[in-house]
């Protein structure tokens, strides 16, 4: 009887862990589609991992993985910041929950130590993004009003459906980069991969109006050429980007209008444009940091400290739309230094991975670092969850 009970308990634990693995893959599917589902799965999967038992073995898998520990320490910084923050309780807790993904993701490392689940997760993400892109084409050329009535994100641009145009362009950029890596590895399938890659690029530059996506894609092209061909490849990529930009100005109304808007907003110093607002956020955040440059003002302190800086041109915001400034206000130069250390350590450890995973890891890091210049991407749901999720998927291979 005792043996039967032990067998049943072991059977239940294995099934719980298998269910956790399946739901962990579902996160890859949810990322391009549903913010709410991502948030639910990021709580449910860790819970199932804990309930599945073998906690010492799982804990060892986490603590022995230095990339996982950088995430843990990054979240600990926010916990420590709660003890000296100038923010009211609701702002502090709101910010802490925005970054809890850096703690919850730790429980996914034991799942993705199995190479099978790593490949399934990446393939599921790519497949889902491709489906959303096909729907984007259908919306752009056929039934835009139909999609606008169904999805909130669809109302913000001519092509994006489930997400706003900034998030959609980022997701498509990552998908493009992964397929570019696959193409370099499986050239015999060029007749499938090349048309798909071209469809993604058309979506990015002719249909989507996300300027951040343009810049991230260009950075990924340069990175890929450097990864494959080093400095000669990088120079060729830069030349190709210059020529490609000239062509886009001539042939893509969407691209030329968006870039022209950015230029005019800078030239005329238009405060209420997206560029003008970000300039205002930058100046305002630097003024805040000057008052506590070493350790900042604590977790969630941006809103509270913004009220203490006299600036008639500043438009109130929940964050400075720049992750480096966002961390700088809360944790000063110490926090910014640790942020760069986290990125640098992950880049360093990527050289311990097989080529495919190394390339993807470096692409995610570059994307987040570039995108965080104009957005608080580690704080944001879609971009932040994608970053920690892919880092867990990839670096579990260690």
- Tell me: the pLDDT tens digits for 315-331? 777 888 899 999 999 99
Contact 238, 222 (CB under 8 A): yes
Q: Which of 19-28, 51-60, 154-163 is least confident?
A: 154-163
Q: How far apart are CA 71 and CA 53, in angstroms?
A: 23
Secondary structure in 3-state letters for the chain: CHHHHHHHHHHHHHHHHHHHHHHHHHHHHHCCCCHHHHHHHHHHHHHHHHHCCCHHHHHHHHHCCHHHHHHHHHHHHHHHHCCCCCCCHHHHHHHHHHCCHHHHHHHHCCHHHCHHHHHHHHHHHHHHHHHHHHHHHHHHHCCHHHHHHHCCHHHHCCCCCCCCHHHHHHHHHHHHHHHHHHHHHCHHHHHHHHHHHHHHHHHHHHHCCCHHHHHHHHHHHHHHHHHHHHHHHHHHHHHHHHHHHHHHHHHCHHHHHHHHHHHHHHHHCCCCCHHHHHHHHHHHHHHHHCCCCCCCCCCCCHHHHHCCCCCCCCCCCCCCCCHHHHHHHHHHHHHHHHHHHHHHHHHHHHCCCCHHHHHHHHHHHHHHHHHCCCCCCCCCHHHHHHHHHHHHHHHCCC
Q: Which of 63-77, 81-95, 176-190, 241-255 is least confident?
A: 241-255
- Asked whether residue 86 carries a pLDDT value surpassing 90, the answer given is yes
pLDDT band at 37 (very low <50, low <70, confident <90, very high): very high
Looking at residue 53, its pLDDT comes to: 78
pLDDT band at 150 (very low <50, low <70, confident <90, very high): low
Looking at residue 250, its pLDDT comes to: 86
Looking at residue 152, its pLDDT comes to: 52
- Tell me: the pLDDT tens digits for 274-292? 676 777 788 888 889 999 9
Contact 198, 155 (CB under 8 A): no
Q: Which two tokens stand for residue 83?
A: 């003890």
What's this model's pTM, rounded to 2 decimal places?
0.91
- Tell me: the pLDDT tens digits for 254-267? 888 888 777 666 65
Q: Which two tokens stand for residue 326?
A: 């966002």
Q: Please indicate whether residue 338 or residue 240 has the higher confidence score (pLDDT).
A: 338
Q: Which of 92-96, 108-112, 185-189 is least confident?
A: 185-189
- Asked whether residue 313 carries a pLDDT value surpassing 70, the answer given is no
Average pLDDT over residues 82-104: 95
Q: How far apart are CA 219 and CA 176, in angstroms?
A: 12
Residue 39 burial class via C-beta count within 10 angstroms: exposed 0-12, middle 13-18, buried 19 and up? middle
- Asked whether residue 361 carries a pLDDT value surpassing 60, the answer given is yes
- Tell me: the pLDDT tens digits for 377-396? 999 989 999 999 999 999 99
Residue with tokens 């799982």: 58
Closest by CA to 29, choosing from 116, 126, 117, is 126
Q: Which of 26-30, 77-81, 202-206, 264-268 is least confident?
A: 264-268
Looking at residue 20, its pLDDT comes to: 93
């Amino acid at each position: 009887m005792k043996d039967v009970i032990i067998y049943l308990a072991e059977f239940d634990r294995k099934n719980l862990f298998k269910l956790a693995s399946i739901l962990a893959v579902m996160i890859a599917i949810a990322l391009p589609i549903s913010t709410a589902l991502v948030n639910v799965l990021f709580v449910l999967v860790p819970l199932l991992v804990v309930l599945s038992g073998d906690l010492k073995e799982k804990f060892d898998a986490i603590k022995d993985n230095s990339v996982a520990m950088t995430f843990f320490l990054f979240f600990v910084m926010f916990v420590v910041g709660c003890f000296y923050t100038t923010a009211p309780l609701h702002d502090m807790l709101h910010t802490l929950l925005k970054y809890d993904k850096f703690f919850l993701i730790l429980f996914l490392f034991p799942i993705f130590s199995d190479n099978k689940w790593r490949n399934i997760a990446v393939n599921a993400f790519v497949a889902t993004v491709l489906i959303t892109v096909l729907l984007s084409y259908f919306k752009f050329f056929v039934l835009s009003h139909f999609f606008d009535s169904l999805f909130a994100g669809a109302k913000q641009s001519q092509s994006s459906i489930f997400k706003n145009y900034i998030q959609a362009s980022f997701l498509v950029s990552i998908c493009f980069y992964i397929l570019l890596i696959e193409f370099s590895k499986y050239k015999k399938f060029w007749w499938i991969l090349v048309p798909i890659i071209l469809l993604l690029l058309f979506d990015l530059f002719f249909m989507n109006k996300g300027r951040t996506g343009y810049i991230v894609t260009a950075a990924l092209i340069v990175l890929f050429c450097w990864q494959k061909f080093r400095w000669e490849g990088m120079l060729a990529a830069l030349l190709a980007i210059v020529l490609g930009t000239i062509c886009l100005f001539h042939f893509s109304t969407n691209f030329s209008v968006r870039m022209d808007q950015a230029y005019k907003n800078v030239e005329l110093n238009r405060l209420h444009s997206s560029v003008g607002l970000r300039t205002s956020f930058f100046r305002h955040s630097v003024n805040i940091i000057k008052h506590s440059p070493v350790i900042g003002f604590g977790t969630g302190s941006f809103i509270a400290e913004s009220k203490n800086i006299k600036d008639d041109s500043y438009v109130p915001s929940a964050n400075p739309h720049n992750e480096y400034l966002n961390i700088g206000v809360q944790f000063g130069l110490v926090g910014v230094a640790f942020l760069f250390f986290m990125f640098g350590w992950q880049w360093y450890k990527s050289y311990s991975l097989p080529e495919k995973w190394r390339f993807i890891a470096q692409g995610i890091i570059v994307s987040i670092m570039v995108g965080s210049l104009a957005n608080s991407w580690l704080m944001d749901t879609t971009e932040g969850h994608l970053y920690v999720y892919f880092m867990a998927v990839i670096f579990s291979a260690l």
